[in-house]
Amino acid sequence: MKIVECVPNFSEGRDLDKIRAIVKEVKSTPEVKLLGVEENPDYNRTVVTFAGSPDGVKEAARKAIARVGELIDMSCHKGSHPRIGAADVVPFVPIRGVTMEECVDLAVELAREVGEGLGIPVYLYREAARKPERRELSYIRRGEYEALPEKLVSERPDFGPCEFNERVRRTGATVIGARKLLIAYNVDLATPDLAIANKISGRVRETGVIRKTNGKERIPGLLKQVQAMGVKLSTGITQVSMNLLDYEVTPPHVALEAVRKEAKALGVEVTASEIVGLVSLEPLLMAGRFYLSSLIPPHPPLLKGGRRDSEEELVRAAIKGLALRDFEPRKKIIEHALDLGTKD
């Protein structure tokens, strides 16, 4: 069985009618299962997760992008998350029986259909990138939607129009690619001070910060394969919002403990964390083993007879150790949502 996951991020997180119309396109596509819809009013952004056969997933993505182009006007869009278009980023992720090369082919095919068929500028990123600098989403999104008229000239898209016409004014550009499983991971801070969240983000992200002392000097961050930024929420708190690009390099528990350490040094408490979209089982098992062995006192039933901890117990320990909020394993873990069958 070939299974591909797609996790498009759309620039609408407040109008539920529009979000439902977009999701309907995915749900109506054969050979595709909708796994999650997470809207964020502060970011004004919705993350939709679905999986299925390669052809089915590509068709669902194309239909959703077409619908988004009808519903969202980027010239009116405001939100706290970086974005370059209405269908902002559309990544394909190999899950089972599919190679990364096959996902790259899917990305290129979809990019051509969106660029030539829908009239939307498309940039290829990550494993599908045709230029080394375009591997990074942050590079493509520099200046965001507001800088798109100039970008279309200086950074010609891989497919689609190179002019900021009336159609592109509404849709913006779309970034399509193939990548390994990414974990969108946010850590809540008990402070309304965005400067503190930004300081912590600069200390933990791989690119670090630029210090201006007798010229510019980049100070590398603590965590490899991690992007991070500070975000202020309408609830009055702030977040360190992270993308964990490779959980085998930096899993969620390592990222959380780094943020906790930096926050403590600044006199700020970490209150909770959240995983946006779905996550695979393995990083949660890694977190569960870590917290059972180092932070959470051992529970006799877990160690009785010297047996190893079960999957369910490790997931439970991960949820507690990571202080995850609104986390339902059956809905948030990819293998559970797809009912792929896992072993204790």
Q: Which of 77, 81, 253, 336 is catalytic?
A: 81
Dist. CA 292–CA 114, nearest whole Å = 47
Give the tokens for residue 193.
């001070």
> Which residue bears the tokens 């109506």?
28
Dist. CA 99–CA 47, nearest whole Å = 24
Four-CA torsion 66, 71, 72, 76, nearest 10 degrees: 150
Dist. CA 212–CA 190, nearest whole Å = 29
Alpha helices, DSSP H only, in the chain? 16-27, 54-71, 100-112, 137-140, 148-154, 166-171, 194-204, 252-265, 281-294, 300-303, 311-321, 329-332, 334-337
Is 81 assigned a catalytic role? Answer: yes
Distant-in-sequence, close-in-space partners of 235: CB < 8 Å, separation ≥ 6: none
Report the catalytic residues. 81
